Amino acid sequence: MQTFAHGAALWDVACPRRPSRVAGVSTAGFRVPGLDALRMVPHPAVTLLLDFGEGTSVLDCAAGRQRGSLVAGPGLGSGGAVRARGENVECVQVHLSPVIARAVLGASPADFDGAVVPLDSLWGREASRIRERLADVSSWQERFELTDLLLARRYGAGHPVYPEVARAWHRIAVSRGLARVDGLATEVGWGRKRLWSRFRSQLGLPPKHAAKLVRFDHAAHRLVAAATGYADQSHLHRDVRALTGTTPASVADEPFLAVDDIAWPTLDTAAAARVSRRPRVGPRRI
């Protein structure tokens, strides 16, 4: 576990020692004494938050106030209107590639329609069981193992997206959002209307917005427009303003962005595009 310092705030951050059994899954653990209305920075992944501590985590967004474990589609925080706060927060946070999210969650990110969804509304009693088990174990590595077994089991039993949709997402991700979106349908052998419809229904966002999020995510972590595919500084400024409600200089100092170097040390949008064969899950169940 490492300590992340941002101003007067100190967060404990833990990372798994081994990669997930499922490609497209990345995980981190957080213990935070106090969150003070921090802005969420949009990310091109589905966010799964597993809250298990005695403290309280709260997400304030346009749809209202959400407490505890939750799921949010790609681009959580777009427009700068989502804030996280709480006291003595303990949680496991998972980034799910949109390509695998439907299989893991049992619902398409499109079903959220941009909203934040309580996990128990998707998983029912299973959400309570994983919370209890995460609280019962004493180490972060045990928590990561429990989480990964759960995700692998659900992924193995879930329904994958169409290969053509996965391929289109892969092209967007590995190009860091620079792939010509208008040419994706030709590349995968589908008509444009069909690809756009399937992409939106299975991944939760249209291809152009997916490319914008991926491009922004790469730029936000580097803030060097010339190296991230932005035509000029004004283009970068427009996207940052649209996605975060603030300026590039302000985004560079956002805690939820600054902590990524510790929480997600192998941060790479392209890696989230690679989806392996369905994992073989052993007899241990959650």
Is residue 133 classed exposed, middle or buried when 0-12, 13-18 and 19+ CB atoms within 10 A define those classes?
Answer: middle
Query: The whole model's pTM is what?
Result: 0.83
pLDDT surpassing 70 at residue 162: yes
Give the Cα separation of 147 and 50 in Å (integer). Answer: 9
Give the Cα separation of 66 and 82 in Å (integer). Answer: 11
Q: Report residue 28 as tokens.
A: 């981190």
Question: Do the beta carbons of residue 173 and residue 205 sit within 8 Å?
Answer: no
Chain centre to alpha carbon of residue 210: 13
244 to 19, 28, 83, 139: CA distances (angstroms): 30, 23, 11, 35
For residue 252, the model assigns a pLDDT of: 64
* More confident of the two residues 59 and 113: 59
Which CATH fold would you assign to the domain 2-160?
A: Jelly Rolls (2.60.120)
pLDDT surpassing 50 at residue 285: no
Q: Which residue has the tokens 């990669």?
A: 19
Supply the mean pLDDT for the chain.
82
Percentage of the chain modeled with pLDDT above 90 = 47
pLDDT surpassing 50 at residue 284: no
The full DSSP string for 18-47 is S--SSTTEEEEEEEEEEEEEEEPPP-SSEE
pLDDT surpassing 50 at residue 193: yes
Question: Do the beta carbons of residue 49 and residue 91 sit within 8 Å?
Answer: yes
Domain coordinates of the chain in residue numbers?
Answer: 2-160, 163-263
For residue 80, the model assigns a pLDDT of: 66
Which residues are bridge partners to 46 per DSSP?
A: 96
pLDDT surpassing 70 at residue 275: no
Q: Which residue has the tokens 């860091």?
A: 176
Residue spans of alpha helices (H) in 14-124: 98-105, 119-123
63-67, 97-101, 105-109, 149-153: lowest mean pLDDT where?
A: 63-67
Strand (E) or helix (H) holding 222: none
Tell me which CATH code domain 163-263 carries.
Answer: 1.10.10.60
Dihedrals phi, psi of 201, to nearest 5 degrees: -75, -30
pLDDT surpassing 70 at residue 14: yes
pLDDT surpassing 60 at residue 124: yes
pLDDT in tens, 76-122: 777 767 778 888 889 999 999 999 999 999 999 988 766 788 999 99
pLDDT surpassing 70 at residue 283: no
12 to 4, 36, 123: CA distances (angstroms): 6, 16, 28
Dihedrals phi, psi of 84, to nearest 5 degrees: -110, 140
pLDDT in tens, 202-245: 999 999 999 999 988 887 777 654 445 555 667 767 777 776 66
pLDDT surpassing 50 at residue 263: yes
22 to 13, 142, 156, 180, 266: CA distances (angstroms): 22, 17, 9, 28, 15
For residue 2, the model assigns a pLDDT of: 85
Which residues contact residue 15 at a Cβ distance below 8 angstroms, ignoring those fewer than 6 apart? 27, 28, 29, 262, 263, 264, 265
Confidence band of 270 (pLDDT split at 50, 70, 90): very low
* More confident of the two residues 2 and 202: 202
For residue 53, the model assigns a pLDDT of: 84
Helix/strand/coil percentages in the chain, nearest 5: 45, 20, 35
Domains 2-160 and 163-263 share a fold: no
pLDDT surpassing 50 at residue 279: no
